[in-house]
Amino acid sequence: MKKLLILSMLALLLLGFSIQNQTLSATAEKEKTQFYSWSNDLGRQPNDTPYLSLHYRLRTMYFSIDPHDERPLVFLGDSITDEGEWDKLFPNLSTENRGIGGDSTLGLLNRLDQVITLQPSQIFLKKAGFAV
């Protein structure tokens, strides 16, 4: 009777390990897929939507945590704006650079709420391309 009980417990234990191993394998596969999805975003193809690129997502994430002064001048646009050193050009004014290289009109519209939350005193907009 004890042998049967021990064998049953051992079988249940092995079954539990097997199920856990399958769950871990599924989780690892999901993380692997997500990793490859993100790594594919590192490069952007000419026909890709700019506002879905990794660069766009990283910049918008940075903008959400970047501390800012009250009612700054906001510079909004694509790479021309992104590369501008607005704080050096206007040293006596509070400025926020919200340019993203490769951005489009659709990308600007997608993140306009994030700019509005800054409560800017003025917004200087460099019209982005119309790529969708």
Residue 39 burial by CB count (10 A; 0-12/13-18/19+): exposed, middle or buried?
exposed
User: What does the pLDDT read at residue 66?
Assistant: 85
More confident residue, 109 or 128: 109
Q: 59: which 2 tokens?
A: 């910049």
Q: Could you tell me the pLDDT band of residue 50, with boundaries at 50, 70 and 90?
A: low
- 105 Cβ neighbours under 8 A, 6+ residues apart: 127, 128, 129, 130
For range 44-73, the mean pLDDT: 77
Q: By percentage, how much of the chain surpasses pLDDT 70? A: 58
Query: What is the mean pLDDT of the segment spanning 17-44?
Result: 58
